[in-house]
Amino acid sequence: MNKTPFEESYNSDDELLAEYHFDYKKAKSNRFAAKSRKQLLKVVVLDEDVAQVFTTPESVNKVLRALIESMPQVTDGDTA
């Protein structure tokens, strides 16, 4: 009977390195990832003083939506 990987002896040369350097220029997109039209999440890092006031994503979104509604609407010909 052939040995399975679990039956092989431990080899100290196979240990994980503490750090790996990945060349993102050679990376390819995941062709198996779902290409759905779900809403994409964006991550924004808040400054510490702002994060102390707005402690949940819901509170941040509520205030930003109110701000967006109070802003003058920009038409196609106008620039901000």
Percent of the chain with pLDDT over 70: 69
As a whole number, mean pLDDT of residues 46-65 equals 94
Q: What is the pLDDT of residues 4-43, one digit of tens each?
A: 655 555 556 667 888 888 888 888 888 777 666 666 778 8
* Measured distance CA(75)–CA(69) in Å, rounded: 15
Q: Which of the four pLDDT bands, split at 50, 70 and 90, describes residue 74?
A: confident
Q: What is the pLDDT of residues 58-67, one digit of tens each?
A: 999 999 999 9
